[in-house]
Structure 1
């Protein structure tokens, strides 16, 4: 039987990636004053620095900001001005302060699932920022448990399931990232409800995992969550 349903936060419950995309666009505009964007491979170089810094800074706006500063200095050969570096710090602050806007229909969907199943919020990133987003979302009271983790891998999910006293086969995760929300849960023997967002950070892409399996149901928007969870519940019997 299905005993526990997990929900991702960013780009599953509320909009997030759009703010990071806007910050990156502004980063490229600033760096473009110093170099040719195409010749300097600005996008790829920033992404490589972010990937290398994850184990140091973790996920979220603070890590993004530090990586943008490092990338800007590297790409421009140290020519970037102090004023432009200050602007990059400002971009990070803007992302941290962005309003929490729920995806259409998500409150109703979460309430429908919570009426029939125990639910848990499992999100990753900076602790303070994620706590603030949960608070601003006004969804926190619906969840049996809220877990903010530094990485969403099989070990992290296994820990949450042990804490909740639930076997992986009785757990389903709802999220927009195959890499973070679906693949690790399926690897443990659980279930996934995959709800793609219109924009996904490159480091969240999981080309080696196919969503079209018996253990994963793909939906288009929040209106399909409750029905998908009931389908999972039938399959899990």
Structure 2
């Protein structure tokens, strides 16, 4: 009888979790859908604003083109969906947080929420940095080296894919401090080790920048330099959040000496 009651409690708890998960997913999808419907009427205007970094660098008379028949419809729609994802990211992450938070300890909640907020802000900062600083510099460089007699008229879908890759590359790369703090909190590394590995990290950053950015020096440097600075910021943040780990590592090193 007791075993049956325990099984009933377990199955009931599982069903409650599944119902809660379904509720959170429906709320997340609803928020995303509302944002998308709100942006759809402005999709073409949004794409025009999105194309400004390239259009402002093109010679007079040059413009974007649509190679595929359906590109004028699908490119703005794709951009509207991406913009809706950006706008609703806090709401989507809140739904994920509301689902997992009841199972966390108080200390885990106290650390997880600031990390979550920091991750969202850093992603936004990375996208803004890419749009307002990196893209104008990259397109200025590319238009400057365009051979004589060649008209640079990019397909609207190709341009959108290019810019979205840049956005994701910079947005994710700017999460480096959060990733370092999480590694320290998990006990996988210490701030002292991160400082010791600084040289290797710089080399790795430049390799990553060369791989995920377009094949030009401008975008590679504009990603690598902020990532190096963010690596240092991650060390400082990790040291502040886990001073005992650092102290223990230094004491252990002193004892070995």
Larger Rg: 2
Say whether the fold is shared (TM-score over 0.5). Answer: no
Report which of the two has the higher share of strand: 1
Higher relative contact order (CA 8 A, sep 6+): 1
Which range, TM-score by smaller chain? under 0.3
TM-score norm. by structure 2 comes to 0.26
TM-score norm. by structure 1 comes to 0.27
